[in-house]
Structure 1
Amino acid sequence: MILAYCNQKGGVGKSTTVYHHARAAILAGKRVLVIDADPQGNSTSVLAEDVQEGDAGLADALSKQSTDTLADVLVPGIWEGLTLVPTAGDNLADVRNELVISAEPGKEARLRKQLDAIKGDYDLVLIDCGPAIDPLTISALTAADAVVIVSQSKLWSVNGLAKLMTTVSLVREHYNPSLKVAGIVLNAHEAHTLGGGYWADELTAAAEAAQLPILTPAVPKRQAIADATETSSALDEGDAQARDLAAIYAAHVDQLMKGSTHV
């Protein structure tokens, strides 16, 4: 299964969600590939053991200026069972610009074609997309079986959801007719605040109206989640509260792997 984690708004926790979903999938015995399709390279910085600026990565596999394939740029992740297609430095941003100006037919399918050759080696492929609807995100959605929308209980989440679904519809129409929505992750949720409760209800209503599934339970706003990501550590190896948080991500992965939420 290939999942693209998306939201055109930055700071909602896409890379953090990819990180903890990858860990949960590994604990479930899955072979996991993470593709860092965000020019910021956040997933690479926490999931790769030793990737330096200038090392080969996703940019090389997507650029017409390179002969590298995805298979050529794979690196081991920080956990057994995890492999990464990294991004380091400014190369991916350069390739994004290359894709913008390219008139080559089928450029949106470069990533999908590269993945076809290696996806059989993995049970789950997670693509961490950047905070924009740009050619890299379109490429990820074209390659994916389904999209995971990472959102928060904030004012802009409802509007952002509608904009992203417009993009998903366009990708379905032009590049990937089988693309589904695997679910919405309500991240950094503050259930006991008035704003958090109100906007969570609004987002839930908008999702239900669009027949979009929400992965449960919501991810609460906890410093332990960010701390684990930033230190490349695992919630399941922490204290009881950290393990409770790990169980949330495990529940998400279970729902995703069962496919019962896909629409």
Structure 2
Amino acid sequence: MAHTLAVANQKGGVGKTSTTFHLAGAAARRGLRTLVIDADPQGNLTSSLGPADLAADSVGLADALSPNTDETLSDVIVQTEWEGVDLVPTTGTTLAAVQQEIASLSLGREHVMRQRLEQLGDTYELVLIDCPPSLDALSINAFTAASEVVVVTHADKYAGEGLIKLAGTMSQVRQFCARPDLRIAGIIFNAYDPNVKEQAHWYREINAAAEQMEIPVVHPPVPKRITLVECTFSGTRLDLSRDRRAADLVPIFDRHLRTLHPAS
């Protein structure tokens, strides 16, 4: 099974989807066979990375996870415009409905996504899962399926609380979902401005807390740039953008990918 990174935070609006998108772009630049899974019911990653002709009623992740359908991940994978990068979109049957189906299973409900990924064998070298911004059956499935978890956060007073909650969730997954080896691969600070005193303060505080918890911090932090948002919304890779400012951001995500996926 491929090295699988679940990109997560139980708080929305921190740039989790944008980070997943640009890590996928870095993987494309390095020629990695990559599968991106949009497990966020909002479907923003599907809008950015999916092909333009992808119909809203096409089969998607929910159909592959549902215990009441015959679809596998192979049946719902679509090619993106980036060579070597495929997508499991959020389309078709709604994820909310499938979460209820999964939650109703008496056995193995935490392992549905992992079982589906195992069926792909060594088709991919890297899998990136954009997790929902909540703690539910889908998040637990993503954590159980992951080799490691990547935490995306802002440098603010809520980040420390979120990190503690997420660490607690992962502790439960390790204990109750037969994943004793699950770990946080790193924390990525997003939209960071060191000139804002409050951000600089919380950046130092969270770094110190992470060190105490023996959780790595991925450097450098991602700066606050409108270019990142624009490229994500338009589905444009940083290195293919006409905006010259985007080129300055390419090395950041390339370095992050090397940190999180050393085999690349």
Task: Compute the displacement of 1:174 (Å).
Answer: 1.3
Select 2:154's aligned residue among 146, 149, 152: 152
Deviations 1:78-127 (A, max 9, x none): 21111011102661111112223x04211110110110011411111000
CA contact (8 A) 2:36 2:129 kept: yes
Q: Distance in 2 between matches of 1:103 and 1:109?
A: 11
CA contact (8 A) 1:51 1:86 kept: no
CA contact (8 A) 1:110 1:139 kept: yes
User: Residue 61 of structure 1 aligns with which residue?
Assistant: 64
Q: Distance in 2 between matches of 1:119 and 1:212?
A: 29
User: Residue 248 of structure 2 aligns with which residue?
Assistant: 244
CA contact (8 A) 2:14 2:152 kept: yes
User: Residue 38 of structure 2 aligns with which residue?
Assistant: 36
Q: Distance in 1 between matches of 2:92 and 2:117?
A: 22
User: Residue 262 of structure 2 aligns with which residue?
Assistant: 258
CA contact (8 A) 2:231 2:238 kept: yes
User: Residue 216 of structure 1 aligns with which residue?
Assistant: 219
Task: Compute the displacement of 1:42 (Å).
Answer: 1.1
TM-score between the two structures when normalised by the length of structure 1: 0.95
Over the aligned positions, Cα root-mean-square deviation in angstroms equals 1.2
Write out the 4+ residue segments of structure 1 that deviate beyond 3 Å after TM superposition. Answer: none
Report the 3-state secondary structure (helix = DSSP H, G, I; strand = E; otherwise coil) of the residue aligned with 1:258: coil
Report the 3-state secondary structure (helix = DSSP H, G, I; strand = E; otherwise coil) of the residue aligned with 1:94: helix
Task: Compute the displacement of 1:70 (Å).
Answer: 0.6
The one-letter code of the counterpart of 2:184 is V
Alignment CA distance shift 1:189-1:3 (3 Å): same
Alignment CA distance shift 1:234-1:141 (3 Å): same
CA contact (8 A) 2:129 2:142 kept: yes
Q: Distance in 1 between matches of 2:7 and 2:219?
A: 16
Task: Compute the displacement of 1:51 (Å).
Answer: 2.1
Tell me whether 44-53 or 139-148 shows the greater mean CA deviation: 44-53
User: Residue 4 of structure 2 aligns with which residue?
Assistant: 2
User: Residue 18 of structure 1 aligns with which residue?
Assistant: 20
User: Residue 176 of structure 2 aligns with which residue?
Assistant: 174
Report the 3-state secondary structure (helix = DSSP H, G, I; strand = E; otherwise coil) of the residue aligned with 1:120: coil
TM-score between the two structures when normalised by the length of structure 2: 0.95
Deviations 1:147-197 (A, max 9, x none): 000011011000000000000111011111221211111001111101110
The one-letter code of the counterpart of 1:241 is R
Task: State percent identity of aligned pairs.
Answer: 45
* Gaps in structure 2 of 5+ consecutive residues: none
Q: Distance in 1 between matches of 2:247 and 2:256?
A: 14
Task: Compute the displacement of 1:237 (Å).
Answer: 2.5
Are residue 82 (structure 1) and residue 81 (structure 2) matched?
no
Tell me whether 172-181 or 141-150 shows the greater mean CA deviation: 172-181
Q: Distance in 2 between matches of 1:237 and 1:58?
A: 28
Select 1:186's aligned residue among 184, 189, 196: 189
The one-letter code of the counterpart of 2:76 is V
Report the 3-state secondary structure (helix = DSSP H, G, I; strand = E; otherwise coil) of the residue aligned with 1:121: coil
User: Residue 96 of structure 2 aligns with which residue?
Assistant: 93
Report the 3-state secondary structure (helix = DSSP H, G, I; strand = E; otherwise coil) of the residue aligned with 2:217: coil
Task: Compute the displacement of 1:53 (Å).
Answer: 1.6
Q: Distance in 1 between matches of 2:254 and 2:244?
A: 15
Report the 3-state secondary structure (helix = DSSP H, G, I; strand = E; otherwise coil) of the residue aligned with 1:52: coil
User: Residue 238 of structure 2 aligns with which residue?
Assistant: 235
